[in-house]
A = this chain, B = another copy of it.
């Protein structure tokens, strides 16, 4: 239970850390070794009173001798001398959920990097926080060291947002960047990324877009003033991207990225798409993350930085802790719950009309182009550019085209008709082209 208010402004903020893995350990080291630096913006500073972890004896680079140790993280929330719990356990249920619920119910502030927990249980947890007056803060959950939450919730709070988009998973961006640079296949790059520690042994959370969709759910909640609802995000990952498409995209002036896009009145979508090379998001390479906020009156703002890693994530945790130490306790999703609309009932305007990139593997023979352009014409789809690589009479060649804006279902029908052509040798590859992001 948090101490009484008078004391809380002068005594150190009492911290318990649940989970001393890569990030939890770094937070503990920062609070310990940089204690003086932490006093500059808070005056009061911090004191770690308790931690929980699997093993007590691991050397984690900070003095644990005066800190109470627990094997069971849930026990941290039962103490009466803890002001804030740093939850670094992970997972959207189980111990993490129990710990956070108990803490918030008792008025203990919570700082977490757990996007899955909040994407699945955000509304319930925000309610507990609001009822007890505790903070529930999650800067570290989105885009690592980038102050993405604070920028949206406070720095740009005066705006009405028309779009929130981002490169929200460093593993995917690393894989795509490397496929583009080397022409390697997805599977080969993934295997190497796993060997290098950039990808998990079980990569599904990353490469299937789920982790990034958790983050997008939370950004959409803050930007559009709605409760988070992970079930209403359309999700696809990067497993189906072929290395050849990067080269074709580049020739046409685009790069391929996994981008999360949320717009008011539409289902947020996590999708592999083409970005014009002149946009800021297109220039974000490797393990970097970026968020792009578009609103009125600001225009577009892009924030870029490390999306993961001990130091970057710890920086975000420290910012939340310092806000709490300074009594800056924001509503969980930027507004009181009563002012949030119900995320599960947000109008679904469907996917917006969008330009498309299409690659067809066709037999190089007379009449193919006429067949394809005829299908496009029937569906009222106009071609922006077309590209055929080389000539190989009677052999299979790639035919690449980009379209002007078209309804997604109309494009799907046209693609299905193209696939039925005898000259088309494989299912057409198609990706939306995301336009309108910050250029320059």
User: Judging by beta carbons under 8 Å apart, are B154 and A323 in contact?
Assistant: yes
Query: Within the complex, which residue of B145, B150, B158 is in contact with A30, where a contact is CB–CB below 8 Å?
Result: B158
User: Judging by beta carbons under 8 Å apart, are A311 and B283 in contact?
Assistant: no
Known: A286-B440, A335-B40, A440-B284. A160 touches B34 (CB 8 A): yes
The chain B residue with its CB closest to the CB of A298 is B315
A314 at the interface (CB under 8 A from B): yes
A4 smallest CB distance to B (angstroms): 20
A220 smallest CB distance to B (angstroms): 15
Chain B residues, Cβ within 8 Å of A438: 288, 304-305
User: Judging by beta carbons under 8 Å apart, are B147 and A301 in contact?
Assistant: yes
A309 smallest CB distance to B (angstroms): 7
Known: A156-B315, A157-B322. A145 touches B284 (CB 8 A): no
Using a CB-CB cutoff of 8 Å, which residues 287-329 of chain A contact chain B?
287-288, 295-306, 309-312, 314-315, 317-319, 321-323, 328
Using a CB-CB cutoff of 8 Å, which residues 305-363 of chain A contact chain B?
305-306, 309-312, 314-315, 317-319, 321-323, 328, 334-336, 339
Chain B residues, Cβ within 8 Å of A299: 145, 305-306, 309, 311-312
User: Judging by beta carbons under 8 Å apart, are B301 and A302 in contact?
Assistant: no
Q: How far is the CA of A225 from the CA of B40 in the complex (A)?
A: 8
Query: Within the complex, which residue of B157, B280, B287, B306 is in contact with A318, where a contact is CB–CB below 8 Å?
Result: B157
Query: Within the complex, which residue of B285, B309, B310, B440 is in contact with A288, where a contact is CB–CB below 8 Å?
Result: B440
A146 at the interface (CB under 8 A from B): yes
User: Judging by beta carbons under 8 Å apart, are A334 and B302 in contact?
Assistant: no
A139 at the interface (CB under 8 A from B): yes
Using a CB-CB cutoff of 8 Å, which residues 107-164 of chain A contact chain B?
139, 145-147, 150-151, 154-160
The chain B residue with its CB closest to the CB of A37 is B160
6 further interface pairs, Cβ-Cβ under 8 Å (given A147-B156, A158-B315, A304-B438): A154-B319, A154-B322, A159-B318, A299-B305, A302-B303, A328-B328
7 A-B pairs in the complex with CB atoms less than 8 angstroms apart: A147-B147, A154-B154, A154-B319, A280-B304, A301-B304, A301-B306, A302-B305
Query: Within the complex, which residue of B41, B154, B288, B336 is in contact with A334, where a contact is CB–CB below 8 Å?
Result: B41
A37 smallest CB distance to B (angstroms): 6
A284 smallest CB distance to B (angstroms): 7
| Chain A 421-438 near chain B by CB (<8 Å), digits 1 or 0 | 000000000000000001
User: Judging by beta carbons under 8 Å apart, are A440 and B287 in contact?
Assistant: yes
The chain B residue with its CB closest to the CB of A145 is B298
Q: How far is the CA of A318 from the CA of B310 in the complex (A)?
A: 34
Chain B residues, Cβ within 8 Å of A225: 40
